[in-house]
Structure 1
Amino acid sequence: MKKFTQRIDKEKLLLAIAAPVLAVVAALVVTALVILATGKNPMPAFNDMLSYGSASDSQVYILNKATTYYLAGIAVAVGFRMNLFNIGVDGQYRIAAFLAAVIGGAVSLPGIVAIPLMILAAMVTGALWAAIAGVLKVTRGVSEVISTIMLNAIATAIIAYLLQPERLGQLDQAGTLVSTKPLPHSSWFFTIDNGDAGQIWGFVVIAVLVGLAYWFVLGRTRFGFDLRAVGQSESAAAASGANVKKMIITSMIISGAVAGLVGLPTLLNDSHQFDNSFPLGLGFTGIAVALLGRNHPVGVALAALVWGYLERTTGHFEVIGYDKEILGVIQGVIVLCVVIAYEVVRRYGLKRQQQRVGAELAAQAAKKQEVTA
């Protein structure tokens, strides 16, 4: 039995490796065919991706972008583990970052107090905004997909209304950009200087802590077990004593709290104010990253790095004569290939497991007959 278990574990590991490898290979093949269809040779493009992506300044850029993408991926993954589709991460992080920027620009406190205050304000705002969808789902049966999409639009409208010079915004000296009051230098988050390559955003430390908390809570606590159980079967979880409605609201609150952190790397390490140029669509990127990473903290981290790498390297395509729209093609193809590859590997693994169990039971039955005879 021990050898049988070891054989199963080894095959699970091989299948886990096979799925992303198969997806990447398929994505490269499809991307190469797309580039060929435009009448160009894909090999110089791939070579440029390798050389440009390995440059030190590109590595800093990729890590900084991956910090934001990782937080977005974890926020979505919390909902996914609960079988909830939180499409509202985009609205949650934007309204959270906006409020944090307003508070940070308004208070005159030491950075050691102001920074935690902005982080806490962003998490609470994101949690409360996501909780609306959770409450609507358990009290009125409203799909979280519909409610979070609507909440995204509402958040955008609220920010547009408040980000005006006569309200919470102000014009820059050139009179062309409306933003919140800039954060004082003492409220900037620390950076790690990497020489000519640039500065690594210190918020990567917070992202790592979030990943560790996600791993521990979902994998090592009773709450995490209940959350995953409700996600797999609400009726079975309810029979085991879990409060399904409470778990739905709680998971949305946690997802929203993490979503509230998504805009803070940009706010505290880069822009130091909120304006109309604040990045859009990070919540939808988080969906792709969570899918690629299979909702696992390490997998999401690797997916975030891959996403940052693709953004950096394909953004350079236009310089060497390729269409910049290839980035969207590659990203879409990778997501599609990953979903298909994991499903193919999952079905193959299930079939293999059924065959092994059947063979093991047959062998035990034959051995028992021999002993009886």
Structure 2
Amino acid sequence: MGKLRGNLLPPALAIVFSALLCGLALVLSGANPLKAFGAMVNQVGEGSTAVDIINSTGIYYIAALAVAIGFQMNLFNIGVEGQYRIAAVVAAIFGGSVALPPGIHSLAIIIVAAVAGAAWAAIPAILKVTRGVNEVISTIMMNGIALGVAAYLIRRDVFGELRGNNIRTPEIAESGWVPGIPLGDNGTLFGLVFLAIALGVGYWVMMNRTRFGFELRASGESATAAAAGGVNAKKMILVSMLLSGAIAGLVSMPEILGRDHTYNLNFPGGIGFSGIAIALLGRNHPAGIAFGALLWAFLDKSGLALDNVGVPREIVTIMQGTIVLSVVVAYEVVRRFELASEQRRVGRELASAGGAA
């Protein structure tokens, strides 16, 4: 019960604090916070908003899982942003350049995306284990390089083509698409949302039911103790970064294979950074991450309704930012509360034992 409380109470406190802070900001700006929050909730029932939230939840969930694997090893993989972008453009180029049977085509594209993401993550991983380069610095630099490489690859004189006013990769043939679930006027659910679910289950099994997961958590908690137990710390860093990059490479697959079928200049950015916040909010637990991803997607999509009630949509960004900051504080507050509670319990037991003697 105490462990469950320690996992659920901090994010709940963070969300409440964030809502109160945003409500205060709305009051100071002259807006009605109840009206604003009510509009966001009502927006879920409008058009395809609910389906859009589920689709975005799947994408955010994959990004957060990629980050969480690094966190388990005490690695701060900020490079998810660059890894999924490189994977997206490489997989889109591959998918639009080959002709394969249905099923095999889409599977090949997914594998290429995972390999590309892992390959991009391998660079900071190798720098970490061979030269001791901090992964935060190297992955930030790799994000910038990824933007340039992606822009170069879709140039018309390289792999890109001009369609209207937009430059994009060749369109993937229908044999490479992953069909979604049409829900009429409510939109279409991405077929690869189920990939996110499968990854979440696989992540839980790996971390809780395999030797690799145990060694990963042990190395993250104490590299010295893990090494004394025969765990190769450098190998764990390399493998965890490669695995994190491979999952990051899959972030773009639901949209590319389920809707866009190409990579273009309007490809969405910032998903990797959102994944960091969601992994923190979910405390690296697959269920917690799912909750965080759903919350993030809800704020993103329901925020469209704020314009209709005269409230700036930037309030959503403020809420997301305060959630990230307050969740760190909330975890520390709850940790100290649990520690004090445990100390009082031990004190009572010692007192009872002394009295009985």
TM-score of the aligned structures, taking structure 2 as reference length: 0.97
Q: Find out whether 1:229 has 2:213 as its counterpart.
A: no
The match for 2:38 among 47, 56, 67 is 47
Task: Specify whether residues 356 and 55 from structure 1 end up closer, same or farther in structure 2 by C-alpha distance, changes over 3 A only.
Answer: farther
Q: Which whole-Å CA distance do the structure 2 matches of 1:227 and 1:317 have between them?
A: 43
Residues 288 and 335, structure 1, Cα contact 8 Å, conserved in 2: yes
Displacement of 1:320 after TM fit? 1.9
Deviation of residue 149 (structure 1)?
Answer: 0.9
Whole-Å separation in 2 of the counterparts to 1:155 and 1:314: 29
C-alpha distance in 2 between matches for 1:40 and 1:154? 42
Residue 127 (structure 1) shift:
0.7
What does residue 288 of structure 2 align with?
A: 299
Q: 1:28 is matched with which residue?
A: 19
Residue in structure 1 matched with residue 142 of structure 2 by the alignment = 151
Note if contact 2:181-2:191 (Cα within 8 Å) is conserved in structure 1: yes
Cα separation, 2, equivalents of 1:162 and 1:261: 19
The equivalent of 1:189 in structure 2 is 178
- The structure whose Rg is larger is 1
Superposition RMSD on alpha carbons, in Å? 1.3
**Residue pair 2:109, 2:176 contacting (<8 A) in 1 also:** no
- C-alpha distance in 1 between matches for 2:71 and 2:316: 26
For 1:124 and 1:365, locate their aligned partners in 2 and report how far apart those are by CA, in whole Å.
Answer: 62
Distance 1:234 1:129 in 2: 25
* Cα contact 1:230–1:244 (8 A) shared by 2: yes
Q: Give secondary structure in 2 for the equivalent of 1:80.
A: helix
8 Å Cα contact 2:117-2:245 kept in structure 1: yes
Q: What is the CA–CA distance in structure 2 between the aligned matches of 1:244 and 1:333, rounded to whole Å?
A: 35
Contact 1:96–1:126 (CA<8 Å) still a contact in 2? yes
Moved more, 28-37 or 333-342: 333-342
Whether the 8 Å CA contact 1:12–1:349 is kept in 2: the answer is no
Instruction: Return the match for 2:71 from 80, 90, 95.
Output: 80
Residue number in structure 2 paired with 1:331: 320
What's the secondary structure of 2:269's corresponding residue?
A: coil
Q: Could you tell me whether the CA contact under 8 Å between 2:303 and 2:313 is conserved in 1? A: yes
How many matched pairs?
A: 357
For residue 104 of structure 1, the aligned residue among 66, 91, 95 is: 95
Shift of 1:363: 2.5
Residue from 299, 309, 312 that aligns with 1:310: 299
On the 8 A contact 1:110/1:186 being kept in 2, the answer is yes
1:211-222 matched pairs, under 5 angstroms: 211-222=200-211
Aligned to 2:197: 208
- Opposite residue 169 of structure 2, the aligned amino acid is T
Structure 1 residues 15 and 229: alpha-carbon distance in aligned structure 2, compared to 1, 3 A threshold:
closer
d(CA) in 2 for partners of 1:152 and 1:17? 32
User: Could you tell me the percent identity over the aligned residues?
Assistant: 48
How far residue 20 of structure 1 moved from its aligned partner, in angstroms, is 2.5
1:95 aligns with 2:86: yes
CA separation of 1:74 and 1:25: change in aligned 2, threshold 3 A: same
1:71 aligns with 2:71: no
Amino acid of the structure 2 residue aligned with 1:324: R
- Give, in angstroms, the shift of residue 119 of structure 1: 0.6
Matches within 5 A, 1:112-261: 112-172=103-163, 174=164, 176-261=165-250
Equivalent position of 2:272 in the other structure: 283
**Structure 1: gaps spanning 5 or more residues:** 1-9
Report which stretch shifted further, 336-345 or 244-253. 336-345
Deviations 1:301-333, CA, capped at 9 Å, x for gaps: 110000000011112211221112111111111
Using the alignment, how far apart are the partners of 1:77 and 1:260 within structure 2?
14
Q: Which amino acid aligns with 1:130?
A: A
Task: Tell me the TM-score normalized by structure 1.
Answer: 0.93
Counterpart amino acid of residue 121 in structure 1: V
Superposed CA deviations along residues 15-41 of structure 1, whole A, max 9, x for unmatched, are 433322222221111010111121111
State the alpha-carbon separation in 1 of the partners of residues 204 and 3 from structure 2: 20
Native 8 Å contact 1:315 1:327 kept in 2: no
